[in-house]
Amino acid sequence: MMASIKLEGLEKTYPGGVQAVKGVDLEVADGEFVVLVGPSGCGKSTLLRMVAGLETISAGALYIGKRRVNELEPAQRDIAMVFQNYALYPHMTVFDNLAYGLKNRGFKRDEIRRRVEEAARMLEIEAFLPRKPRQLSGGQRQRVAMGRALVREPAVFLFDEPLSNLDAKLRVQMRVEIKRLQRRLKTTSLYVTHDQLEAMTLGDRLVVLNGGRIEQVGTPMEIYARPASLFVATFIGSPAMNLLPLGALLSGPGAASHGALLGDLPPGTGILGIRPDALRLEAPHGPHLTLSATLELFEAAGAESHLHVRLAGSGQPLVIRTAGQPAVAEGQRLHFHITRDALHPFHRETGRRLDDTLKTKEQAA
């Protein structure tokens, strides 16, 4: 049994008058893995908890499958949730933790045993079934928390920052496992995280939230390649996208040669976004911009390096990502090259992305 989720103008206003979620419309298809991502306080967790039924819905409608579930208790919504701190019952064994939800639903003992053992096998926690949660490591507890969601075979999985209590290495490992598991079970999933890398790698689609509203919805690559606003541009991608005021390019050294290339930017453009990896040390073929800058700081990160530079003239700071370890020295004057299609134009006041005619033409071709 699987189901889609539909959010229609969902709003959450707390008794104090604080509006945490300000009208969210979203459709999650059957079997889709959608990640809600945003900075802390953007309403992503509130939104997830509204879907779970742990927070009441102030306005709007919520559908899971064909049912409107606004007023239903969490247990009646056919969902399962994985909590950030796992929320395992400390006095129960792992087996009982997994079985509790099934027991409450009146499953037969054989069926409970079968399902728990199956989930335990899938998550490789069979050996821990007789243990108590406190005897497990963080990663093992995480698996148990997943197992508790799994045994229920729900229509929807909800994940509330499930990996944020794990160390970096384990996080990557569990991330891969969650994705693999979801691929296999094809259960509709909503996943909340503040980690953009987690969001990019896990989601079929991302929902970027800011201030209780949706900034952009799209596949990870769509969002990376065409961020809809300055907020999304700086939030997704690491190191963050560089933002340059147009003025900084139209003045200073080489301004004259820039003019030709920048002339066809959409009207109203005030800020240009440039991904750190779009700035190249070698000149590409075809038309491009060349910027000169002073290297302030060099960070070697193994397979790649980050160059922190300041533009000559305007003194704007930029971060550049290059593969390997270029032979450069701090304090050195460097030249960087950008092709025209690597520029993301944003409106000078609204911060929205301006329709980049050049690019759409290229894509159409």
Partner 1 sequence: MVEHRPLSQLAAHLILIAGVALVLFPVYIAIVASTQAPGEFLRGTLPLVPGGHALENYRAMWESGLSRAGAPPVGQMLFNSLVMALAITVGKLVISLLSAFAIVYFRFPFRLFFFWLIFVTLMLPVEVRIIPTFQVVADLGMLNSFAGLSIPLIASATATFLFRQFFMTVPEELLEAARVDGAGPLRFFKDILLPLSVTNIAALFVILFIYGWNQYLWPLLITTDSDYYTVVMGIQRMTTAADGDPQWHLVMAAVVMAALPPVLVILFMQRLFVKGLTETEK
Angle at 167 between CA 164 and CA 168, to 5 degrees: 95
User: 131 vs 337, which CB is nearer to partner 1?
Assistant: 131
Query: Which one of residues 19, 67, 70, 100 is an interface residue with partner 1 (CB under 8 A)?
Result: 100
Contact flag: residue 89 with partner 1 (CB under 8 A): yes
Give least dist CB 159 to partner 1, A: 13
Query: Which one of residues 66, 108, 134, 361 is an interface residue with partner 1 (CB under 8 A)?
Result: 134
Contact flag: residue 173 with partner 1 (CB under 8 A): no
Torsion over CA: 205, 229, 252, 287 (sign): positive
The backbone torsions φ and ψ at residue 303, rounded to the nearest 5 degrees and listed phi first, read: -70, -20
In sequence order, which residues have a C-beta less than 8 Å from that of residue 124 and are 6 or more positions away?
Answer: 143
Q: What does the buried/exposed string (b/e) look like for 134-165 if buried means 16 or more CB atoms within 10 Å of the residue's CB? A: eebeebbbbbbbbbbbbbbbbbbbbbbbbbeb
Contact flag: residue 245 with partner 1 (CB under 8 A): no
Query: Which one of residues 91, 114, 121, 183 is an interface residue with partner 1 (CB under 8 A)?
Result: 91
User: Number of residues in contact with partner 1, rule: CB under 8 A?
Assistant: 24
User: 84 vs 292, which CB is nearer to partner 1?
Assistant: 84
Give least dist CB 70 to partner 1, A: 16
The backbone torsions φ and ψ at residue 10, rounded to the nearest 5 degrees and listed phi first, read: -65, 135
Give least dist CB 88 to partner 1, A: 8
**CA–CA gap between residue 254 and residue 105 (Å, rounded):** 72
Contact flag: residue 108 with partner 1 (CB under 8 A): no
Give least dist CB 151 to partner 1, A: 10
User: 86 vs 336, which CB is nearer to partner 1?
Assistant: 86
CB atoms within 10 A of CB 227: 25
Angle at 248 between CA 245 and CA 249, to 5 degrees: 105
Q: Which residue, among 76, 123, 74, 73, has the nearest Cα to 95 in the 3D structure?
A: 123
User: 40 vs 104, which CB is nearer to partner 1?
Assistant: 104
Give least dist CB 121 to partner 1, A: 21
Give least dist CB 85 to partner 1, A: 6
| HSE, side-chain direction, 13 A CA sphere, residue 364 | 6
| Single-letter residue type at 354 | L
List the interface residues with partner 1, window 26-85 (CB under 8 A): 52-54, 73-75, 79-81, 83-85
The contact set with partner 1 (CB under 8 A) reads 52-54, 73-75, 79-81, 83-85, 87-92, 100-101, 104-105, 134, 148
